[in-house]
């Protein structure tokens, strides 16, 4: 599976911010050492951003005239966020994986989603605009340890999209307790691989995953044991998640969300991709 990547995504950040370039740099170095092929994306156009976001939100990010304690208005952030969005578009086209930052699943139509207090390190919802542009019946599986509140807000009630999120209960963004006609939320404690996979199987059956034509993975690795929103998962657990999704025999693409221990991100992503490709 090809990895979409650009070193430009390492150019911004703050030494005091958890979502920094080092996590992606270390993951890239691990994957490069394993022989993965990398392709560079083009930035998403404004017309792509407007597929899922309001014009007002796009303009706020463009101008940098917003204050968010978790999601700073870094110089040039509009261009970096467009590049990450473009990475998701290319990953969908190639059936690959976008290893770019900033992440996206907390960004809703007009910014903060479902009453969340901040944008949660996210500017544009990268995966959501790639799914919208594909315009195919799609299953989104969000394995980040935080609820994908922005993705849920964007696609709730959309007959072409089904959304599953397994996440740590009671932490940021404070959402993801209920389910709806086309989305299933599974709030969890630190359950470990075996229970996690059982809950995943149950959620996939409940949402009717087999009826979709494409699978899109919001791959956050902060659910790894010891990371920010640990669900007790191991690297082998991520491999088994990939194997489970591969059983559907559908085209798959993914994007990076959270995961703040760079070595784990690289190893976990490799395991997930091996599972998706049936190379256990």
Q: How does pLDDT run across 187-214, given as a tens digit for each residue?
A: 999 999 999 999 999 999 999 999 999 9
| Given the residues 57, 105, 106, 167, the one annotated as active site | 106
0.85 exceeded by the pTM? yes
Mean pLDDT of all residues belonging to the chain: 97
Concerning whether 105 is annotated as a catalytic residue, the answer is no
Give the integer Cα–Cα distance in Å for 84 and 104.
9
Q: In this model, does residue 280 exceed pLDDT 70?
A: no
- Kindly report, residue by residue over 23-65, the tens digit of the pLDDT: 999 999 999 999 999 999 999 999 999 999 999 999 999 999 9
Structural domains in the chain, CATH included, are 3-276 (3.40.800.20)
Q: In this model, does residue 279 exceed pLDDT 70?
A: no
- Kindly report, residue by residue over 56-91, the tens digit of the pLDDT: 999 999 999 999 999 999 999 999 999 999 999 999
For residues 140-152, average pLDDT: 98
Q: In this model, does residue 120 exceed pLDDT 70?
A: yes
pLDDT at 278: 78
pLDDT at 182: 98
pLDDT at 272: 98
Q: In this model, does residue 163 exceed pLDDT 90?
A: yes
Q: In this model, does residue 255 exceed pLDDT 80?
A: yes
Supply angle C-alpha 6, 12, 18, rounded to 5.
Answer: 105
């Amino acid at each position: 599976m090809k990895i979409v990547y650009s070193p430009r995504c390492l150019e911004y950040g703050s030494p005091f911010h958890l979502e920094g370039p080092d996590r992606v740099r270390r993951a890239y170095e691990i994957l490069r050492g394993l022989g993965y092929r990398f392709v560079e994306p083009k930035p998403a156009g404004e017309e792509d951003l407007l597929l899922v976001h309001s014009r007002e939100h796009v303009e706020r990010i463009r101008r940098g005239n917003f204050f968010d304690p978790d999601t700073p208005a870094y110089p040039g952030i509009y261009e970096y966020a467009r590049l990450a969005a473009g990475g998701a578009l290319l990953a969908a086209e190639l059936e690959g994986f976008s290893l770019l930052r900033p992440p996206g699943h907390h960004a809703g139509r007009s910014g903060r989603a479902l009453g969340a207090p901040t944008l949660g390190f996210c500017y544009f919802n990268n995966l959501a605009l790639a799914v919208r542009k594909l315009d195919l019946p799609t299953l989104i599986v969000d394995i980040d340890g935080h609820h994908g509140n922005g993705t849920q807000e964007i696609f709730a009630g959309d007959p072409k999209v089904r959304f599953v999120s397994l996440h740590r209960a009671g932490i940021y963004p404070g959402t993801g307790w209920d389910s709806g006609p086309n989305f299933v939320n599974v709030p969890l404690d630190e359950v470990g691989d075996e229970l996690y996979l059982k809950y995943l199987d149950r959620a996939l059956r409940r949402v009717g995953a087999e009826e979709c034509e494409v699978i899109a993975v919001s791959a956050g690795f902060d659910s790894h044991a010891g990371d920010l929103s640990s669900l007790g998962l191991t690297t082998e657990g991520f491999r088994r998640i990939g194997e489970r999704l591969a059983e559907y025999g559908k085209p798959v693409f993914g994007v990076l969300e959270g995961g703040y221990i760079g070595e784990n991100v690289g190893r976990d992503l490799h395991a997930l991709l091996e599972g998706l490709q049936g190379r256990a």
